[in-house]
Amino acid sequence: MPQPRSEIEEVFHSLLKNLNTAKLKLSESELVSSDFHSLFNTIQTDVLQLKSLLIEENQLTKTPSQTRTTMRSSSAIETKTDTTPQFVASNESTRDCASMSGVKFTIDYLEAHVKQCLLCLAIFPEGAVIRKQQLIHWWIGEGFVPDTEVGNGCCEELMYHGLIVPVKKEYSDEGHAFRMDPSIRWQVVEAAKENNFLEIDPQGNPIVGTTGHLVLIKGLDRVRVRVRSMRGSGGQGLMSVYNVDQQYVHLDKSWFSGQRKLGTVQLGRCIGFREHHTELLKEWELKRIGACRNLRYLSLRGISKIESLPDSIGDLYNLIILDLKACHNLEKLTTAVTTLQKLQYLDVSECYLLDQMPKGLGRLINLEVLKGFVVGSSQSKDPCRLIELSRLDKLRKLGISIGRQSVATDDELQQLAGLKDLRCISITWGVVASDKKQSLAYSGTVKTAESVTDMRLYLPPIIEKLDLHCVPFREFPEWLSPTNLAALKKLYIRGGMLETLGAETGWGVEVLRLRYLRNLKCDWDAVLSLFPRLRFLENRKCQNLASWPCNAEGIWQKLD
């Protein structure tokens, strides 16, 4: 009696996982010949084929005799694979077909929400590097996942099945992006068509019909066609507007007016690790966005010509993610943002013309990520103070910008230590606009007022990552010590006046990145004494540290 389908799937998922792990370990060994790699590829293809055949065994259209014949055929193929290597070469197209059949099976039997997440990848061109964070934000906007944690789980499952491959930055152990194999991408494109998720042209590019997804890719004329077809299609209305790689985006009032199902609007480009400059044409149409009451994800990342957000953004009471990173013309953040009670993610980093944050951010009690918080100056009119952040009990990541004229009392600074969920904090000095005439360009020279230099910070002892930019101090201040930061695993210091790494030993730091510190001097033996648990170090353009045993790229790694 055959096993239930769920048990069969579980057995083969486990087998595939073990094969992938074994293949990875073998690939790291120089002693393994190419024959072994070929053998593992053959076994993996056989498993995928056998998996499909066993599933067919349980279908009602199969008779017992047909089932036995199928199983015998499968066994014969496996036997010939092991004993007759020539069979593999002469039947390569058959094996490719079997492999693709296995991929299709895997896609078909994904959980519903994971499958929906996968189908989103059909919009990206072949070979594209897809940013993980922005894709998860899209999934949240579509309602496929409720939060980032579940989104990360979906990514892990897709990697587990081999449908996506992580892409890591050089010398980084974290995968912030991924890509798809071209053959798997075509399977995903076909699945998107079959499930009416997207309409795809013969070249594999998404087009807009009745599915509700407006995808922006290169070619202004094509975008206008898509907008007209959407307006006249009689479909269900827009559900998402997603810019893949278009530099000039023509806003149209039809994108927002009456679009009650619209959950995602990403107007900044999203491919690759680099930030891309994007321009909005007819940017005044953005004021209509308040009508999209179901909007959960809004990204204007990297878009110029936006000096302020419309007050109508306060009507987006379902908004969860607001990404305004690198909006270089943004001068003011409207107080309407403080009414977005469901907001979990707010990024205004690299908005260098912002000189204060709107008072009332402390009301955003669901906020988990806040990047680019600007500490106001004495000239700021009723700004948000650091003390308000003490109400954000769910805050996990925080980025702070301290300008030359920033003012914060000792009582305010002490409130940071009370953020018990905070695990990652980034602090930048000296790049906040003191007036609207300040240039957008940053020369790297730190000019910090004496009061800011002496500012004592109180950080939660549980933080695991600390990223410091343009440090104004020459020596480690009292608050920057292993005693105060016992849980710290990653320490990044980029630019500034630092001359020494301090004298207090016992750091638990495992990853240390030092960049553009031309005044820093420290012997290598002292580094190992200060950071006894160090396993990775980056030394980039620190001219006095040339004697350190780093490679040509400035990298040192501890050998296990």
Residue length of the chain: 560
Q: Say if CB 299 and CB 265 are below 8 A apart.
A: yes
Q: What is the pLDDT of residue 196?
A: 86
First CA to last CA distance, the chain = 50
Instruction: Express each pLDDT in 16-25 by its tens digit.
Output: 656 665 655 5
Task: Kindly give the pairing relationship between strand 536-540 and strand 555-557.
Answer: antiparallel
Q: What is the pLDDT of residue 351?
A: 92
Amino acid at 244: V
Instruction: Express each pLDDT in 131-147 by its tens digit.
Output: 899 999 999 999 999 99
Query: How far is Cα 109 from Cα 198, in angstroms, rounded to an integer?
Result: 19
Instruction: Express each pLDDT in 502-551 by its tens digit.
Output: 889 999 999 999 999 999 999 999 999 999 999 999 999 999 999 999 99
Instruction: Express each pLDDT in 82-114 by its tens digit.
Output: 332 332 333 444 345 545 667 888 898 899 999
Backbone angles phi, psi at 57, to 5 degrees: -60, -30
pLDDT band at 412 (very low <50, low <70, confident <90, very high): confident
Instruction: Express each pLDDT in 329-349 by its tens digit.
Output: 999 999 999 999 999 999 999
Q: Say if CB 321 and CB 141 are below 8 A apart.
A: yes
Q: What is the pLDDT of residue 77?
A: 29
Query: How far is Cα 266 from Cα 134, in angstroms, rounded to an integer?
Result: 9
Q: What is the pLDDT of residue 143?
A: 93
Residue 115 in tokens:
């499958």
Q: What is the pLDDT of residue 316?
A: 95
Query: How far is Cα 154 from Cα 163, in angstroms, rounded to an integer?
Result: 11
Burial of 278 (0-12, 13-18, 19+ CB in 10 A): buried
Higher pLDDT, 26 or 397: 397
What percent of the chain shows pLDDT beyond 70? 71
Q: Say if CB 413 and CB 455 are below 8 A apart.
A: yes
| Residue the block writes with tokens 């769910």 | 394
pLDDT band at 360 (very low <50, low <70, confident <90, very high): very high
Higher pLDDT, 19 or 291: 291
Whether the predicted pLDDT of 220 surpasses 70: no
The average confidence (pLDDT) of the chain is: 78
Query: How far is Cα 285 from Cα 252, in angstroms, rounded to an integer?
Result: 7
Name beta bridge partners: 442. Answer: none
With CA atoms as reference, report the closest residue to 312 among 332, 331, 340.
340
Task: Kindly give the pairing relationship between strand 248-250 and strand 213-216.
Answer: unpaired
Query: How far is Cα 46 from Cα 39, in angstroms, rounded to an integer?
Result: 11
Q: What is the pLDDT of residue 341?
A: 95
Burial of 508 (0-12, 13-18, 19+ CB in 10 A): middle
Beta strands in 296-380 (DSSP E): 297-299, 303-304, 321-323, 345-347, 369-375
pLDDT band at 312 (very low <50, low <70, confident <90, very high): very high
